[in-house]
A and B are shown apart, each in its own frame.
Chain A
């Protein structure tokens, strides 16, 4: 039961993070477009990413809400957080000042704080998946059903 609670908390944190990040980006979409345009990695794809990134964040949030898609959602969240983290590492190798495009309170973090924040969420997602796939006495069958989905 404790395990179930931990999974619920992890999923809740991810839903909170992704829904907040997605909506705050769309609330000032012009600003978000400009910030993406200033990124050396994304400038060529800025117009496209403005829609793709928040949409993916919302889809993953929805997946985490429903039990059937929860495990797949955690893997997706893990992948997305790995992408954001690698992006920061790459950005840090550029000398120029590059604005962060996360939006809202997340934007106020320093790049290295951001890196730690992201790594924490990567580990959180990994923990979530292992909690869900770990064989347990009464719930073994149920877990296997999740796996198949």
Chain B
């Protein structure tokens, strides 16, 4: 009897020990510092306001006048308008005019480009346009069927899009507009490294001040800067050393699909305003403390005019949550944390 308990105890320690060793080994791989260095600046931002949104499904649709407009992934026809000091908020329900039984489908995104807002549904595909402040939209002249997976308005009647190539489904960047040529695709902008879909995944951004589009890859140290006629300006590089997408893709014949197995996210989220590109990085530099990553998000700042890394700053966690998205306009940084929105002010002298 006693012997049995001892044997069970040994088996228990052996079993849990093996798993904990695996855990420690995988932890070590994830948190190994990389060979690049960051230049940290302190006091880059000052937190000025915060607001509890109650739901974690909000995203920043844009800014109009003195209001921040938040869209909601799970309720695409609802907007939340909050004023600049986050003190006052107002719920708005979007309406579509002149159409029988209009529905705003799940997956639609709201994007602002003053004086208009757009409801973009890449699956249908359909775009509605209306004036900000009135929050009523009409179907926008967009009758060609061009599906898209990301979209940003770049003028009153034109949009930068990311879609998939017919046949191969590789990601491709392009543009749709109401004038001819309605759809333009530029396959040479994205460079396939592994499978064409996951390896080229990233975030599409538009800098209104420089009139430049930016596509930031998630899994390699690169961002593509191109103009609104889809001409490549340059390929910029983030400070880490991952020039090849850090992913593994698995293929499952029984469901005719491929899945992303493992990944190292180099660039988590991006934002751009003025001359700068802000990238929330997923990698530790050689001079980063391990616990700094546990307590902060790290934002690297790049100068888009010169394609240079400028400096980094840390954005502390808020209520135990890391920032899940950032949005920058002029001297304001808006960060979303779980179900909170927090507003920071940039201390100007850092941007000389």
Chain A residues in the interface with B (C-beta under 8 A): 28, 30-31, 33-34, 37-38, 40-46, 75, 78-83, 86-87, 90, 126, 129-130, 133-135, 147
Set of chain A residues within 8 Å of B12, measured between Cβ atoms: 78-79, 82
Report the Cα distance A77→B352, complex, angstroms: 66
* 16 A–B contacts, CB within 8 A, in A order: A28-B254, A31-B255, A33-B250, A34-B251, A37-B262, A40-B26, A40-B30, A43-B262, A44-B25, A79-B14, A80-B15, A83-B16, A129-B7, A133-B1, A133-B4, A147-B3
Tell whether, in the assembled complex, residue B261 and residue A130 are in contact, meaning their CB atoms are under 8 Å apart. Answer: no
B37 interfacial by beta-carbon distance below 8 Å: no
Distance between Cα atoms of A12 and B313 in the complex (Å): 60
Number of A-B contacts (CB under 8 A): 83
Report whether A43 and B248 are in contact in the complex, using a CB–CB cutoff of 8 Å.
yes
CA separation between A134 and B5, bound complex, in Å?
11
Q: Does B22 contact A (CB under 8 A)?
A: yes
Q: Chain B contacts of A44 at CB under 8 A?
A: 25-26, 29
Known interface pairs A87-B19, A133-B4; A41-B26 also in contact (CB < 8 Å): yes
Interface of A (DSSP majority class): helix
B29 to A, closest residue via Cβ: A44
Q: Are A31 and B254 in contact (CB under 8 A)?
A: yes
Q: Which residues of A contact B3 (CB under 8 A)?
A: 133, 147
Residue on A nearest B18 in the bound complex, by CB: A83
Contact in complex: B250, A30 (CB < 8 Å):
yes
- B251, closest chain A residue (CB): A30
A130: which of B4, B19, B30 is its contact (CB, 8 Å)? B4
Residues of B within 8 A of A79 (CB): 11-12, 14-15
Partner of A31, one of B4, B15, B18, B252: B252
Contact A90 B262 (CB under 8 A): no
Cα distance A136–B20 when bound, in Å?
Answer: 38
**Which residues in B have some Cβ–Cβ distance to A below 8 Å?**
1, 3-4, 7-8, 11-12, 14-16, 18-20, 22-23, 25-26, 29-30, 248, 250-255, 259-262
Partner of A30, one of B14, B26, B253: B253
A81→B12 CA distance, assembly (Å)? 9
* Set of chain B residues within 8 Å of A34, measured between Cβ atoms: 250-252, 259, 261
What is the chain A residue whose CB lies nearest that of B20? A86
Q: Which of A45, A46, A83, A147 contacts B15 (CB 8 A)?
A: A83
What is the CA–CA distance of A41 and B26 in the complex, to the nearest angstrom? 6
In the assembled complex, the CB of A16 is this many whole angstroms from the nearest CB of chain B, namely 21
**Residues on the A chain within 8 Å of B251, using CB:** 30, 34
Give B31 Cβ to nearest chain A Cβ, in Å.
12
- B4, B11, B261 interface centre (most CB from chain A within 10 Å): B11
CB distance from A138 to the nearest CB of B (A): 18
Q: Establish whether residues B1 and A90, one from each chain, have CB atoms under 8 Å apart when the complex forms.
A: no
Q: Out of B8, B18, B20, name the residue touching A78 (CB < 8 Å).
A: B8
Residues of B within 8 A of A130 (CB): 1, 4
Could you say which residues of chain B place their CB within 8 Å of the CB of A133?
Answer: 1, 3-4
Q: Is the CB of B261 within 8 A of A78?
A: no
Interchain CB contact (< 8 A) of A82 among B11, B23, B30, B261: B11
Check A43 against B261 for contact (C-beta < 8 Å). yes
Q: Give the residue name and chain of the B residue nearest to A135 (CB).
A: B1
A134 contacts across to B, CB distance below 8 A: 1, 4
In the A-B complex, list the 6 residue pairs whose CB atoms are closest, starting with the nearest: A37-B261, A82-B15, A34-B250, A133-B4, A86-B19, A83-B15
B1 adjacent to A86 (CB under 8 Å): no
The answer to whether A129 touches B4, judged by C-beta atoms less than 8 angstroms apart, is yes
Residue of A nearest to B253 (CB): A30
Please give the distance in Å from A67's CB to the nearest CB on chain B: 18
Are B8 and A129 in touch, CB under 8 angstroms? yes
